[in-house]
Structure 1
Amino acid sequence: MTSSTPADLPINLAPTVSVIVPVYNGERDLPELTRRLLAQTYPAERLEVLWVDNGSCDRTPTLLQSAVTAATAQGRQMQALTYCGVQSSYAARNHGIRVATGEILAFTDADCYPAETWLEQLVQPFTDPAVGLVAGEVEAFPGGNWLERYADRKQTLSQKSTLAHPFCPYGQTANLAVRATIFKQVGLFRPHLTSGGDADFCWRAQREGGWQLAFSEQAIVQHHHRDTLEGLRRQWYRYGCSNRYLHELHGIDLTRELTQKERRYRLGRWLLKELPLAAVSWAKGQGAAIDLLITPLDLVCFEARTRGQRQARLPEAAHQIEGL
């Protein structure tokens, strides 16, 4: 079956779209993200962009006002909102949802750079009335740092891993579109979650709402990988927290912890076998330097996720789901 893309449809037939971007101290990425959003090929008459500043203390408010001015000069719809009630990207998204006027709500993050055809590709699967959610692909922004290369090698941010979740597929809010009516049906994001809110919402939409989740691989946003070891640890610690929250909310299995024997075995195998082979391959120009460190970094990530699972405590308020 073939279907028209929004760019092929008469303007009055393309669904209206609201892009919602939560921002907290985003001054590094806002200028480029603004440029990318203003360059979208989706019909400008059917598009609005809503920034939601979640209490930034850097130059974010000034940059957002500059973005609105630039959009207005081009005849595009853009608003800069502020929400400080709860320090959470999900709470900020909820504020944007309440203000949005679009039939389709598209989400991305302040450190993401969407391709020019991002919205055009992301909205296309909604031509199927059974589809209520669409996840686009998240690719790594080119970086030379060895930790960024590691995350790229592991495809840490790819939606393909979340879409293959054994409990139920979901899309990350770095690149996700949702029919606005679904929020009226199953409620908003849980505002008191700090991680895992995208999975929780997608699961409610599918399991309670009966909606299908589609994947639009050509709807691409680029995302910065963590470029410090501490940043990588924090990222995987949050993944562990997410596992714990979703375990308590939905009963999913927790990730099994490695035993000390398993850790010693993996380190020994790396030192005696993997490292020498990777070093020889790299010396011959047949491999990458990052191959030398894959196993130690895997263990760093695994340990951080394990700590997150152990230490996370689901806030009592997270059991509440606000309606639209």
Structure 2
Amino acid sequence: MQREVRLSIIIPCYNAAATLGEQLTALANQTWERSWEVIVADNGSRDDSRRVAANFLARMPNLRLVDAGARRGSAFARNEGSRQARGTALAFVDADDVVAPGWVAAIGRALDQYPFVASRFDIERLNQHSWLSRTRRNPQADSLQRVSYPPYLPHAGGSGLAIERKLHEQIGGFDETLPRLEDTDYCFRVQLQCQVPLTFVPEALVYVRYRDTLRGMLRQTRERAIANVALARRYSQQQGESKRSLSPWLSYARRWLRQLGRLTKIRQREQFAEWLRMNAWLIGLLQGSLQYRCPPLAI
């Protein structure tokens, strides 16, 4: 009789050949007394990602490589990996991050107490080579992340989330229509639809890798701002908090004035990068507001 698998760790993967091996090495060195598996859900990679994963099959008998290339997007890859998983619980980590020693055991023990959990982030270890790392903030260093718009619930990054499988299936998995922040939306829906809180597990540590180019950082920031507007509009409408007012637009204009004033105080390239990052954020808020026909967020 086949032994029950307690935990399935799902890695959505798209063109991650340069980093996937480091993540798989970290998982290969993990131990836990319960049965667990690792699933690399390949989202149609065009590089050597599949070969990198295949090279670990002999070393990791609990590793499986599945085809998740029918539709582009990390949400689809996570969902497809979940559909093919054998575990009674699911955990998600990204192909460009690295789990710390003891992560599997820590996240597994946490799931024995809480049905929906999130890991702690470290942003130093994998970003030391980049001067841009000094402009970044760690949103999950010692607690969950929070938003200043409805539904005002805590959330966490998708890398390091873990959940009982029945809850994942109850909400229908990740929303594949969202190009970004599908992990934030996932956290909201689990809490709202299942009435299950998200629990922070500081013992479960994930080393997170950031974009190491200025252009990549600015594009990501702008896209995240747009996605935040989309979520704010979605949940404001659901909770009946849609309001029309000039106040958010006046506040947005004042933010630009303050931002322009900071330009004269810049003395270092890190300060300039942070100034550009905030510009990208404000531009994204405006784009999102025009696209979704709602006021800019005060975030």
Q: So what's the TM-score if we normalise by structure 2?
A: 0.82
Q: Does 1:305 align with 2:290?
A: no
Partner of 1:136: 119
SS of equivalent residue, structure 1 residue 95: helix
Work out which of the residue numbers 169, 172, 176 in structure 2 matches 1:187.
Answer: 172
Partner of 1:50: 39
**Cα RMSD for the two superposed structures:** 2.8
Which stretches of structure 1, 4 residues or longer, exceed 3 Å deviation after superposition? 156-161, 163-166, 256-262, 264-267, 289-295, 310-314
Structure 1 residue 260 displacement after superposition: 4.9
Whether contact under 8 Å (1:233, 1:304) holds in the other structure is no
Partner of 2:76: 91
Summarize the alignment of residues 228-243 of structure 1 with structure 2, pairs less than 5 Å apart: 228-243=213-228
> Separation in 1 of the partners of 2:118 and 2:207?
14
Q: How many aligned positions are there?
A: 278
Partner of 1:176: 161
> Separation in 1 of the partners of 2:291 and 2:41?
27
Structure 1 residue 248 displacement after superposition: 3.7
Structure 1 residue 30 displacement after superposition: 1.3
Work out which of the residue numbers 140, 147, 160 in structure 1 matches 2:143.
Answer: 160
Partner of 2:203: 218
**Structure 2 counterpart of 1:204, one-letter code:** R
Partner of 1:317: none
Q: Does 1:59 align with 2:44?
A: no
**Structure 2 counterpart of 1:25, one-letter code:** N
Q: So what's the TM-score if we normalise by structure 1?
A: 0.76
Work out which of the residue numbers 275, 278, 281 in structure 2 matches 1:296.
Answer: 275
Work out which of the residue numbers 58, 76, 87 in structure 2 matches 1:69.
Answer: 58
Partner of 2:63: 78
**Structure 2 counterpart of 1:48, one-letter code:** E
Structure 1 residue 176 displacement after superposition: 0.4
Q: Deviations over 1:159-216 (max 9, x none)?
A: 7362466511112111100001102322211122211211222212111111121101
> Separation in 2 of the partners of 1:189 and 1:211?
16
> Separation in 2 of the partners of 1:159 and 1:191?
29
C-alpha change, 1:310 and 1:32, in structure 2 (3 Å) is same
Structure 1 residue 310 displacement after superposition: 3.9
Runs (5+) with no aligned partner, structure 2: 243-247, 294-299
Whether contact under 8 Å (2:139, 2:145) holds in the other structure is no
Partner of 1:286: none
Partner of 2:24: 34
Runs (5+) with no aligned partner, structure 1: 1-11, 280-288, 315-324
Whether contact under 8 Å (2:156, 2:183) holds in the other structure is yes
C-alpha change, 1:206 and 1:296, in structure 2 (3 Å) is same
Partner of 2:260: 267
Partner of 1:8: none
Which stretch shifts more, 214-223 or 63-72? 63-72
**Structure 2 counterpart of 1:228, one-letter code:** T
Whether contact under 8 Å (1:90, 1:189) holds in the other structure is yes
Whether contact under 8 Å (2:219, 2:280) holds in the other structure is no
> Separation in 2 of the partners of 1:107 and 1:177?
6
Structure showing the higher helix proportion among its residues: 1
C-alpha change, 1:168 and 1:260, in structure 2 (3 Å) is closer
> Separation in 2 of the partners of 1:233 and 1:142?
16
> Separation in 2 of the partners of 1:109 and 1:313?
29
**Structure 1 counterpart of 2:23, one-letter code:** L
**Structure 1 counterpart of 2:179, one-letter code:** T
SS of equivalent residue, structure 1 residue 21: strand
